[in-house]
């Protein structure tokens, strides 16, 4: 039985499992541009610590008009990146995560709008994060990388906005961790946004979300290959690959739903069922293996830790006298979209957001995506999400 343990099998693919996150400034990434900020002063973080010069990777689609009034900022989720639209390319192992939303004639119509997406601080797809070189010694930050917050991500995006000459965004849009950034934009920079589109997100992380975040972090930290965060010097396959794969499997389960998995996999098996092997798999297990392996090829485990922590810390009300006082700063229309089968970002969170904004007199529209796909619906249900966003943006553009 023991010989069947999947961890003891050689990995099917010959490609190295070190994350492509071992990206360094200057390495090619198709379509990606880079800007460096804070070369002469530190980028002070909300928590303890600061970063030296920070590099922000971003992509743009469409053209900025003369008055810089047609710019839309799109904010990515936990394992996303600046590549919100477009195909696979050098250094870019995944297609655009909102490709159906951004482009000519699409809901975020690049014939009309200038769309920008930047990789967040702490991530691993071009923007400064734990795998980036520390300015003092050029070695990866590793365990030296500080905890960053959603507010730090937004402040880095604000620097990029200045750099691009955009004083106010027509809209800021995103789902999940992206939606957290959207809401912080409305609170931190109320005069730099004209509307907000917050999808499958929350005003503050719930204990359930924090708990899921914790078990994902521990899955990585309990992998001896994590080496307390300093694994970049290890050879291929010696980092916390197994831990990151486990964290992703856990996440994938709460990104989906009972119904979507039941519909797709039923009780189909990979290995013959009659062997009754402890490590024989049902198809759903193979699916989780696949998603774990896929993420481990492209993502840095330390970024996974840091960004999950940033989400746990997300609380619009922190240091601002509570959620309502924070949301009172929002001055612009909000499109607030939940997914009915979302078990991670319970739709009640978006309903609570709606109630608070309505009480404050902020124009808010709550829309509900009907889906079997759970939280991942914001990356799948474009037939519903597209028209909701398109209608809202069109109204905002006219106002």
Under rule CB under 8 A, which residues in 333-352 are in contact with its own copies? 343, 346, 348
Q: 146 near 45, Cβ under 8 Å?
A: yes
How many residues are there in the chain? 399
Of 55 and 213, CB closest to its own copies? 213
Query: Which residues ranging from 132 to 151 are in contact with its own copies (CB under 8 A)?
Result: 143-144, 146-147, 149
By CB under 8 A, is residue 234 in contact with its own copies?
no
Q: How many residues bind its own copies (CB under 8 A)?
A: 72
Longest CA–CA span in the chain (Å) reads 68
Q: 260 near 372, Cβ under 8 Å?
A: yes
By CB under 8 A, is residue 324 in contact with its own copies?
no
CB of 101 to its own copies, least distance (A): 28
Give the position of tokens 């037939």.
383
Which residue of 117, 205, 296, 372 would you call a contact of its own copies, by CB under 8 A? 205
Pairing of strands 171-175, 71-75: parallel
Start-to-end Cα distance in the chain: 67
Give the position of tokens 């003891």.
8
By CB under 8 A, is residue 276 in contact with its own copies?
yes
Q: Which residues touch 361 (CB under 8 Å, ≥6 apart)?
A: none
By CB under 8 A, is residue 18 in contact with its own copies?
no
Hey, is 85 helix, strand or coil? coil
By CB under 8 A, is residue 48 in contact with its own copies?
yes
By CB under 8 A, is residue 257 in contact with its own copies?
yes
By CB under 8 A, is residue 50 in contact with its own copies?
no
Which residue of 103, 239, 243, 377 would you call a contact of its own copies, by CB under 8 A? 243
CB of 242 to its own copies, least distance (A): 5
Which residue of 35, 38, 47, 294 would you call a contact of its own copies, by CB under 8 A? 47
Q: Pick from 283, 217, 223: which is nearest to 251 by CA?
A: 217
Provide φ and ψ at 98, rounded to 5°.
Answer: -125, 40
By CB under 8 A, is residue 223 in contact with its own copies?
yes
- Active site (catalytic) residues: 176, 342, 375
Query: Which residues ranging from 168 to 187 are in contact with its own copies (CB under 8 A)?
Result: none
């Amino acid at each position: 039985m023991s010989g069947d343990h999947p961890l003891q099998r050689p990995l099917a693919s010959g490609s190295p499992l070190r994350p492509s996150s071992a990206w360094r400034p200057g390495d090619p990434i198709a379509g990606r541009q880079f800007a460096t900020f804070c070369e002469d002063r530190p980028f002070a973080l909300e928590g303890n610590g600061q970063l030296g010069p920070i590099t922000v990777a971003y992509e743009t689609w469409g053209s900025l008009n003369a008055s810089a009034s047609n710019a839309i900022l799109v904010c990515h989720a936990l394992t996303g990146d600046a590549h919100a639209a477009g195909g696979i390319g050098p250094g870019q192992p995944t297609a655009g995560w909102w490709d159906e939303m951004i482009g000519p004639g699409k809901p975020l119509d690049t014939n009309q709008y200038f769309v920008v997406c930047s990789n967040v601080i702490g991530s691993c797809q071009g923007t400064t994060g734990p795998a980036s070189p520390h300015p003092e010694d050029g070695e990866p930050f590793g365990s030296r990388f500080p905890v960053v917050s959603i507010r730090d991500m937004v402040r880095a995006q604000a620097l990029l906005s200045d750099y691009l000459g955009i004083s106010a965004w027509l809209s800021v849009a995103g789902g999940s961790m992206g939606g957290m950034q959207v809401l912080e934009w409305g609170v931190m920079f109320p005069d730099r946004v004209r509307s907000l589109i917050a999808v499958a997100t929350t005003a503050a992380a719930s204990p359930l979300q924090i708990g899921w975040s914790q078990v994902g972090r521990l899955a990585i930290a309990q992998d001896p290959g994590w080496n307390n965060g300093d694994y970049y010097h290890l050879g291929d396959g010696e980092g916390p690959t197994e831990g990151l794969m486990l964290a992703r499997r856990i996440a994938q389960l709460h990104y989906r739903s009972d119904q979507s998995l039941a519909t797709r996999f039923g009780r189909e098996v990979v290995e013959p069922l009659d062997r009754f092997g402890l490590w024989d798999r049902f198809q759903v297990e193979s699916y989780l293996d696949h998603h774990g392996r896929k993420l481990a090829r492209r993502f840095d485990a330390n970024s996974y830790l840091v960004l999950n922590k940033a989400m746990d810390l997300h609380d619009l009300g922190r240091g601002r006298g509570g959620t309502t006082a924070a949301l009172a700063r929002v001055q612009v229309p909000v499109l607030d979209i939940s997914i009915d089968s979302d078990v991670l970002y319970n739709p009640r969170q978006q309903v609570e957001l709606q109630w608070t904004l309505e009480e404050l007199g902020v124009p808010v529209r709550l829309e509900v995506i009907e889906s079997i796909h759970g939280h991942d619906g914001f990356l799948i249900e474009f037939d519903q999400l597209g028209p909701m966003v398109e209608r809202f943006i069109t109204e905002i553009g006219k106002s």
